[in-house]
Amino acid sequence: MMRITYKFGDRSRKNLETCHEDLQKVLNLAISRSKVDFGISEGHRPVERQYRLYLKGASKIDGYKRKGKHNYFPSLAADIYIYHPDKTMRGKIDYDEVHLSYVSGVIDACAVELYECGKIKHLIRWGGNWDSDGIIKFDQSFQDMPHHEIIEP
């Protein structure tokens, strides 16, 4: 069986370049290991966009009174989506929780590996398991399954 190795497209690479170096290392390793292709939908986020998301209820942070991790430069967070070349399939799975959970597990494993080898200084937290207790989604007060952010170890 042939092993497919994925890599980021131009838009994902451009978005990833706005992120903290540790996030770049983790996500670049994760895309090379994942059996599910994914892209980076957002790294750095201007405060004006953050505020619009806040008004829509898509964020608990307004960007003005309190900065979100996306609002720093370089960004301390990245959002992902699941990619498939067939646009019909892509529309079904781009933010599917099963696919996002799988990729997030790969991202977490890559972060731990790089951290333990001393190649990065921060671990990564996922918006589907904010408290990192292994209970995905059900004990979270706010869901952000595409979101990955740097945390202090």
Nearest to 36 by CA among 120, 114, 98, 78: 98
Look at the chain and count its residues: 153
> Which pLDDT score is estimated for 141?
87
> Which pLDDT score is estimated for 152?
80
pTM of the model: 0.94
pLDDT tens-digit readout, 48-93: 999 999 999 988 899 999 999 999 999 999 999 999 999 999 999 9
Whole-number percent of the chain with pLDDT over 90: 88
Is the distance from CB of 144 to CB of 136 less than 8 angstroms?
no
